[in-house]
Amino acid sequence: MPVAIAGMHRAGTSMVARILRMCGLDLGSDEHFAPPAPDNTEGYWEDLRFVAWNERILEAFEGAWDAVPSFPSGWPSDPRLQAVRDEADALAAARPEPWGWKDPRTSLTAPFWMARLPGLRFVVCVRHPLEVAGSLRARGYTSERYGLRLWEAYHRALDQAVEASRAIVTHYDSYFVDAPAEIERVLDFVGLAPSEAMRRAAAESASSGVRNQRRAARDLDRLGADARSLYESLCRRSGPVLARAPAVEDASVSGEPTQAPARVRHDPLAEHAAALKAREDELASIRPVLAAREEELASVKFVLAAKEEELASIRPVLAAREEELASVKFVLAARDEELANVKPLLAAREEEILALKKRRS
């Protein structure tokens, strides 16, 4: 069952991808990942092959990540996408379970991927639309108004394309309220069962401890009715952890960081050390299983050795039988030759008898 990590850009998709990879989801090898950037120093965790495919899909319909195209009916089967279909199918066939990819553009191209991967599930990352728009604007990508339109277009596309049973909605704020509980909720949906040490390491890496673009609940009044309704629906699907999030009374709208409650700044070295400890704990839990398998293998080898010894004792008997059979075949061949010689004599005698009968008559 592959997993697509989707949602709007700047909504925590990289954080969720990092968490799931730490917990055992194969998102591809490091050589295919987009490198960290000044606006995402911890890495994007994006397999650039999926990014390139999504961009080719959008470009085929005169679109881009920030210019959502109007897709025609039946577009996933469009002949222009045949090369993408072939390349994606080949890669998917070679990926071991559990695997997935992260790219916010998948929010727009979801129907294509569902057609290629019938069992595909989605982890939908949600963040307050004004926080997303503010983050994009702070990085010079677009205006706040256009950022809000993009946020709505991305989530509207996902909402219309993906059935609720195939997706879990996880809110950015939940990781600042109770990261372990939210991670557990997502892991249950994805079907991952990492060790307790790996879960702890993932929870410790969930938050950097600094929040930008905090928005109060009253800021929702600045959204259009449709966007507000969509966001409220996504919040209702975001689970019990978000429901415990404290209300923001006086939010930052300047782009200056605000401190998250009870968190320390993320330390990449500590994250790697925690991940290494998790792997060591997992290896320690596997060793008894390996020892049991080795004992089982030893017992199988013993049985095989006994069978080979038994077979070795039977081989002389079989050889004698083969010699006896060969001698019988020789006698039968001699008898066949003798019978072949007798048949002409019998035929001659039958002709002689027939002639005598004719004379007497």
Q: Do the Cβ atoms of 167 and 157 come closer than 8 Å? A: no
Which 3-state string (H, E, C) describes 44-90? CCCEHHHHHHHHHHHHHCCCECCECCCCCCCHHHCHHHHHHHHHHHH
Distance, CA of 24 to CA of 18 (rounded, Å): 10
Structure tokens that stand for 189 in this block: 């949906």
With beta carbons less than 8 A apart as the criterion, state whether 121 and 1 touch.
Answer: yes
pLDDT value at position 267? 52
Token pair listed for 178 = 């109770």
Handedness of CA 297, 302, 305, 310 (dihedral sign): negative
pLDDT given for residue 148 in this prediction: 94
Give whole-number Cα distances, 125 to 65, 106, 334, in Å.
16, 12, 89
State the pairing for strand pair 121-126/167-171.
parallel
Q: In 10 A of CB 293, how many CB atoms?
A: 10
Write down the CATH number for the domain with range 3-266.
3.40.50
Whether the Cβ atoms of residue 78 and residue 118 lie closer than 8 Å to each other: no
Ordered DSSP codes for 148-163: HHHHHHHHHHHHHHS-
For residue 192, what are the CA distances in angstroms to 20, 148, 185, 271?
9, 33, 10, 20
Of 300, 212, 215, 198, nearest in space to 250 by CA: 215
Per-residue pLDDT of the chain (361 residues; tens, 9 = 90+): 899 999 999 999 999 999 999 999 999 888 777 675 555 555 568 899 999 999 999 999 999 999 999 999 999 999 999 999 999 999 999 998 899 999 999 999 999 999 999 999 999 999 999 999 999 988 887 788 999 999 999 999 999 999 999 999 999 999 999 999 999 999 999 999 999 999 999 998 885 544 555 665 667 778 889 999 999 999 999 999 999 887 655 544 444 444 444 443 445 565 556 556 655 655 554 565 566 567 667 767 877 887 888 888 888 888 888 888 888 899 888 888 888 898 998 888 988 888 888 888 7
Contact present, 154 and 108 (Cβ < 8 Å)? yes
Q: How far apart are CA 50 and CA 56, in angstroms?
A: 10
